[in-house]
Amino acid sequence: MWSGRFRQPLDPSFERWQRSFPFDRRLLPHELDASRAHARALANAGTLSGEELGSMLLALDEIGRRASASPQYLEDGEAEDVHHFVEKELAALIGDLGYKLHSGRSRNEQIATDLRLYVRAAIDHLQEALPDLMEVLLAQAEAAGQAAMPAYTHLRRAEPVLIAHWLLAYVEMLARDIERLTDCRKRVNLCPLGSGAVAGTTIALDRAAIARELGFAGPTANSVDATGDRDFVLEFSTATCLLALHLSRWAEEMILFSTQEFGFLDLPEAYSTGSSAMPQKTNPDLLELVRGKAGRLVGNATALMGSMKALPLAYNKDLQETQQPLFEATDTMSALLPLVTACMRAVRFDYGRMQSAAASGFMNAWAAATYLVRQGVPFRRAHEQIGNAVAYCLQRDCQLADLSLDQLRQFNSCFEQDFYSCLTLESVLGIHDVPGGTAPGQVQVALASAKRRLASMRGLAHAHA
Ligand code: ARG
């Protein structure tokens, strides 16, 4: 590709070591699409005749055919990268005409374009898969009906919430993950072709036409930036990373809640494994791997930032290092998502046990203090008085509802009979009656709204597909 200037051969081990073909070969379909678009632009600019264009397009198709027919075809010990591979194969198929394709273009714009096409496809794939998981969470939320569970802060029982409310929290996280990807896609979806090596191509190519042909919203605005930045790779990877962090929290909760200690749910055997030593065990391996792989995705995003930091403009070979973390993040996430969805679909909650956990443990204490606030007691005083009542109950191993009015009046004289109805689970849930709160009516509204948003997200995914 560039031997003219050189008088000495490369050290063979260096030559092998710097190649990216072993991993960038997966970009071949994008490289071929981009090459077709460039070839057409060359023909429109008069650099290729109509006949030459025809042979070139046939040869590019043939390369694609051979690659899908046999993985062996890509076992090329000489290609430096996917761009070099296509050029070599073109020359093998159509002789010197093959070398004309590189007129007016640089590998710097090619790799930037291939990566944008790759990231765009990866986003579209996740946008298809994520709504399936949201749908399963919504179905589980609906199935849970009015059943409640403890909500935790500091991993201590805090207040009761509907199980549906807890599940909808994950739906919100995933909805933001989808939005982040949608937003990232807008910045990805611009076409670097025509940027040349750094200063713009040397042939008057119709960049808008090239962009249109590849389904981009338009050409990138600056050739130095377009060839020299990979922020879109980083943006995609950090969006994927946040998704992985959300899934790791889900996995952690499912692991905890399925322990004998919690007993809130049964994990499906199809997604668990046994112990080779202890016959009684089922281990939550799927969940543990989801939690563990989040660490690797964080590592990939960190590696990308490290490679980008302080790079002078524009293209530097360091940028080749952005490919493997990107590919690994994409592979990891796309393998993991359908498994998470299938596992969540098969989970069975023990509503009875969750509900009884929700009804004990003084989780009505804030509601009890609110009763006093309604009688005009300043909240800080009410907090202290109910705190004293809880301590009193703990000594007697009873609940607030077990105290007589006389006992309660040691803490505040304004307790009346209606206090007891404030302590029931139903009432405690019911007073959180604000949008976004856990009162059953509010959760119903939230569920309906989440379903509508899911439908529009599916519509968006289809529009891109
Ligand atoms: N394989 C290279 C990469 O991934 C392609 C661009 C090479 N450009 C260059 N000037 N050496 O970054």
Q: Which pLDDT score, from 0 to 100, does residue 465 have? A: 67
| 106 annotated active-site | no
Rg (CA), the chain: 30
Given phi > 0 = left and psi -120 to 50 = alpha, else beta, which region is 107?
A: alpha
Spell out the domain ranges in the chain. Answer: 14-103, 108-201+215-357, 360-445
Q: Which pLDDT score, from 0 to 100, does residue 272 have? A: 85
Residues 67-109: pLDDT tens digits? Answer: 999 999 999 989 999 999 999 999 999 999 999 999 999 999 9
The CATH code belonging to domain 360-445 is: 1.10.40.30
Instruction: For residue 205, report the distance from its CA to the centre of ligand 1, in Å.
Output: 22
- Is the Cβ atom of 2 under 6 angstroms away from ligand 1? no
3-state secondary structure of 259: coil
CA dist., res. 110 & res. 103, Å (int): 13
Are the C-beta atoms of 206 and 218 separated by less than 8 Å? no
> Cα separations (Å) of 103 from 53, 203, 206, 219?
13, 8, 14, 19
Q: Which pLDDT score, from 0 to 100, does residue 109 have? A: 98
Copy the structure tokens of residue 270: 């199809």
Residues 211-223: pLDDT tens digits? Answer: 999 999 999 999 9
- Is the Cβ atom of 320 under 6 angstroms away from ligand 1? yes
Nearest CA to ligand 1 atom 2: 320
Residues 131-166: pLDDT tens digits? Answer: 999 999 999 999 999 999 999 999 999 999 999 999
Give the CATH H-level superfamily of domain 14-103.
Fumarase/aspartase (N-terminal domain) (1.10.275.10)
Copy the structure tokens of residue 113: 């374009």
CA 128 to chain centre: 12
- Is the Cβ atom of 108 under 6 angstroms away from ligand 1? yes
- Is the Cβ atom of 89 under 6 angstroms away from ligand 1? no
The CATH code belonging to domain 108-201+215-357 is: 1.20.200.10
- Nearest-atom index, ligand 1, CA of 107: 6
- Is the Cβ atom of 415 under 6 angstroms away from ligand 1? no
Give the mutation target among 14, 107, 115, 230 for probing the ligand 1 site: most ligand atoms within 8 A of CB.
Answer: 107
DSSP 321: G
Q: Which pLDDT score, from 0 to 100, does residue 114 have? A: 98
Mean pLDDT split into 10-residue runs, the chain, 465 residues: 78 93 98 98 97 98 98 94 97 96 96 98 96 98 98 96 98 97 97 98 97 98 98 98 98 97 93 79 92 97 97 97 98 97 97 94 92 94 96 96 96 95 95 97 98 90 73
Are the C-beta atoms of 240 and 182 separated by less than 8 Å? no
Copy the structure tokens of residue 90: 């073109």
Residue with tokens 């460039």: 38
The neighbouring-strand residues paired with 219 are: 191
- Catalytically annotated residue among 49, 68, 70, 275: 275
CA dist., res. 250 & res. 351, Å (int): 18
